[in-house]
Amino acid sequence: MLDVNTPHTLKGMFINGQWIASGASFDDINPSDGSVWAKAPDGGGAEARKAIDAAQGAFPAWSGLMFQERAHYMRKIADILERRQTDYATANQGEAGGWFGKGMFEAGYAVEVFRAAAAMCYQSTGEILPSSHGKLSTAQRVPMGVISVISPWNMPCILTARGFAFPLAAGNTIVLKPSEDTPYCGGIFFAEVLEEAGVPTGVFNVVTSSRANVAEMGDELVENPLVKGVSFTGSTPVGRAIAAKSGAHLKKCCVELGGKDSLIVLDDADMERATASANFGAFMHQGQICMSVEKVLVHDSIYHEFLAGLKARTAKLKMGDTGDKSNVIGPLINDRQVDRVQSQIEDAIAKGAKVEIGGGVNGRFVEPTILTNVDTTMDVWNDETFGPVVVVVPFGSDDEAIALNNDTEYGLSSGIITQDEARALAMSQRLETGMCHVNCSSVNDEPHVPFGGSKASGVGRHGGRWSMETFTETRWITLDRGHRPYPPVF
């Protein structure tokens, strides 16, 4: 078990069932105090190619297993993850600056991801089609081959598990590259789990790299001809590049990207539910969630009451080194994220925004911040923040709230707080988001649902049968029993 503060040397990259130590390593930093939490192996294109070759070699046998055999592996993985929940949560405190409770939630959620993937192995994936010539005409879902999974640092357990569990259950083989900020929690941890579960050699591989080598490794994982599909979760700029490269090679990709998500609070909202949903949605894991509430749109008749209630809740959040389990608000992951968030706050203030609470920056710790008097000229209105900053903006009508929500290139998630479900459902049809949650925060996910966004928030869907469809191909196979005639000239 890796604890919060003690420096570690990670076992290596996991390629073809072997732990491979590269000649170079990079510092894996604890964002709370800037100390070196671990030394991680620093690979590049060569290691990625070895992993892809191993996955390709393992594909025929893995895809040829009976469906229930793959399901049994998924359940073994789930059981080991369940036993190692505390291991993960503790490592995530040190490597990613995550609150202990958040880490326990992540690992528990990942358990259910693999159980849901096991269940999908038993679902019907094909169809019998009518045939004008009396054939037995079938449409079958078949695994694609090697899938590259590139996972992020913010929710490394959930988003890594979601990225590869369903493709693996479908019969694909995997090469995983975690973020350089979380090489253990997002990658090597899973290699330990799948090795213990006895997953066959080469079926699951993990490669890691520093930021300096990430482009070289990433290009190999997308452009290598043996790779048949790409699963990416991360920022919109990087996702655009990966989707473009995948498209150039005519490869399937599923990219889940950024968001600028709104919580819409209508005039009949339950105030306790509204302020709790906003506080959780905006500040859980320092706002470093793609679905985080970055805009709260509040009906002007309850605006002041809501703002007072939200400020009171936010003031109670305890910030500090997440090695202390009582600290709910930890550091941002790195200095680049701090600069991004601080720049948005400063730009907003310079253009007339008011800081209702927070606004302070101390190293990587950014105080939970509420801004008002925000307008569309400000960066904080237009750009994803990915930090503990939320704007609160009044509106006068449902139409205005919808327009304010849609005024962004993003379209991931949204929430509506109201006692009128019919009103909310009517509004949800007009919101340009892939997901909408009534009387709940925009931060929502379940293993079996179609998770994904519209516009600049991504292409494709993760979760349940939607993942199975994304990472399989449809094959038409017929048996000619009706003796289809050919033209006499032949």
Q: pLDDT (tens digit, 9 = 90+) per residue, 436-488?
A: 999 999 999 999 999 999 999 999 999 999 999 999 999 999 999 878 999 99
Q: What is the pLDDT of residue 6?
A: 62
- Our answer to whether residue 185 is catalytic in this structure is no
Distance CA 461, CA 337 (A): 27
258-286: average pLDDT: 98
- Our answer to whether residue 256 is catalytic in this structure is yes
Q: What is the pLDDT of residues 166-196, one digit of tens each?
A: 999 999 999 999 999 999 999 999 999 999 9
Q: Which amino acid is at 333?
A: I
DSSP-derived pairing of the beta strands 414-417 and 437-438: parallel
Question: Does residue 1 carry a pLDDT above 90?
Answer: no
Distance CA 93, CA 89 (A): 6
Question: Does residue 4 carry a pLDDT above 70?
Answer: no
DSSP-derived pairing of the beta strands 454-455 and 410-411: antiparallel
Q: Select from 384, 408, 343 the least CA-distant residue to 258.
A: 384
Q: Select from 251, 299, 307, 243 the least CA-distant residue to 275.
A: 307
Q: Select from 246, 283, 233, 209 the least CA-distant residue to 12.
A: 209
In terms of residues, how long is the chain? 490
pLDDT band at 7 (very low <50, low <70, confident <90, very high): low
Question: Does residue 5 carry a pLDDT above 80?
Answer: no
pLDDT band at 2 (very low <50, low <70, confident <90, very high): low
Q: Which amino acid is at 202?
A: G
Q: What is the pLDDT of residues 296-335, one digit of tens each?
A: 999 999 999 999 999 999 999 999 999 999 999 999 999 9
Residue 490, classified by CB atoms within 10 Å of its CB into exposed (0-12), middle (13-18) or buried (19+), is: exposed
Question: Does residue 107 carry a pLDDT above 80?
Answer: yes
CATH node for 8-257+457-476: 3.40.605.10
Neighbours of 19 (CB within 10 A): 16
Catalytic residue among 180, 192, 256, 356: 256
Distance CA 154, CA 163 (A): 14
Q: Select from 145, 151, 144 the least CA-distant residue to 218.
A: 151
Of the ranges 40-44, 121-125, 147-151, which one carries the lowest mean pLDDT score? 121-125
Q: What is the pLDDT of residue 23?
A: 81
Catalytic residue among 121, 253, 254, 290: 290
Fold annotation for 261-438: Aldehyde Dehydrogenase; Chain A, domain 2 (3.40.309)
Q: What is the pLDDT of residue 20?
A: 94
Domain range summary for the chain, segments of one domain joined by +: 8-257+457-476, 261-438
Q: What percent of the chain has pLDDT over 90?
A: 95
DSSP conformation letters of 74-121: HHHHHHHHHHTHHHHHHHHHHHH---HHHHHHHHHHHHHHHHHHHHHT
Q: In this structure, is the dihedral angle defined by the CA atoms of residues 375, 377, 378 and 379, taken in order, positive or negative? A: positive
For the chain, give the mean pLDDT: 96
> Which bin fits 67, alpha (ψ -120 to 50), beta or left (φ > 0)?
alpha
Question: Does residue 159 carry a pLDDT above 80?
Answer: yes
Neighbours of 44 (CB within 10 A): 20
Q: What is the pLDDT of residues 12-56, one digit of tens each?
A: 999 999 999 878 999 999 999 999 999 999 999 999 999 999 999
Distance CA 148, CA 227 (A): 7
Torsion, Cα 372 375 376 382, to 10 degrees, reads: -20
